Amino acid sequence: MSKDHSLLRYDALQEVVNIGGGHAATSLAKLIGRPVEMDVPFVELLSYEEVYQNIQADDTIVKVVLSELMGKKYGVFLFVIDPDDADKVAHMLLPDQTEMSEELIDSSLKELSNIIFQSFLQAVVQLIDKPLIASLPVMTTDLFGSILSSVYMEQEQYSDELFIIKNNFYSLGHKIEGSLYFVPKPQALELLLIQLGI
């Protein structure tokens, strides 16, 4: 593949992510009843070692929401967030003076993740004009490396590549930082790129 074609594909992925992030910010703003802004997302295809070195150490305890991309079973979305940021999510989504519990925090995180998953699916569906459905989100807390390697094996994935989207969302000075990962089935990412016409 030529360098120019690779750059074209990257630009196209960046555009899809920008659209999906915009949908997510709009949906989140409607949910919490106040403006939500986002940074330009970080979008990369990285090896697992690069992820551990540059994005998230493998021995870090994280909260992760997982959702499988159904239909042809393209792969799995993971929304990864630090437990402290998960607490901030709950305070953003729930009414003031709400007495926080672990259950409420996890529920809020699943709600945020579902908005993000569906927003990115909507962006892709608009471009390929084919239905894509994500399964109901599932919450887990564990070492980042353990979760990632487990999902990696479940997807029968041997290409050593991860599609990383890192978004920062802001509302009234509050920053919510999390990373969206897509672990594809073998050849699934290539198939999606072809369907996107790139």
10 Å Cβ neighbour count for 196? Answer: 15
CA distance 160 to 90: 34
- pLDDT per residue as tens, the chain (198 positions): 444 445 566 677 777 788 888 888 888 888 888 888 887 777 787 888 888 888 888 999 999 999 988 765 678 888 898 888 888 778 777 777 777 788 888 988 888 888 888 888 887 777 777 777 888 889 999 999 999 888 878 877 666 677 777 777 777 777 777 788 887 776 666 777 676 666
Contact 69, 76 (CB under 8 A): yes
pTM above 0.85, yes or no: no
CATH classification code of 3-195 = 3.40.1550.10
**How far is C-alpha 42 from the chain's CA centre?**
11
